[in-house]
Amino acid sequence: MPKLEIEIPEELARSLKLPPDEAPRRLRQELAVRLYEKKILGFGKARQLAGMTKWEFGELLGQEEIVRHYDEEELKKDLETIEEINSP
């Protein structure tokens, strides 16, 4: 997959209310949250883009008051996991 780079004009970058060393990470997280919220990326891919663990990304979604999308496939996997745990 080709690398995607977004160029932000210097004047705009200076107007960000973020420390310069934090800006790339925070912008990736913001993009990941918004793409997840709009159902453009699933949870796993969005958290990868954000560079976070499942738990960290879930917590970030909670802070942003974004409800986690939970589809049939995820439910099926969770039920299978529960069944495996409960089997002797």
Three-state DSSP class for 50? helix
Q: How far apart are CA 88 and CA 27, in angstroms?
A: 47
Q: To the nearest whole number, what is the mean pLDDT of the chain?
A: 90
The yes-or-no verdict on residue 64 having pLDDT over 70 is: yes
pLDDT at 74 over 80: no
Amino acid at the residue 40 = I
What is the Cα–Cα distance from 35 to 32, expressed in whole angstroms? 5
Please indicate, yes or no, if residue 76 is contained in any of the structural domains. yes
Contact 57, 50 (CB under 8 A): yes
- The tally of domains found in the chain comes to 1
What is the model's pTM? 0.75
Residue ranges making up the domain that contains 46: 10-86
4 falls within a domain: no
Q: Considering only CA atoms, which of 85, 84, 81, 61 is closest in space to residue 73?
A: 81
At 35, is the pLDDT very low, low, confident or very high (cuts 50, 70, 90)?
very high
Q: What does the pLDDT read at residue 5?
A: 86
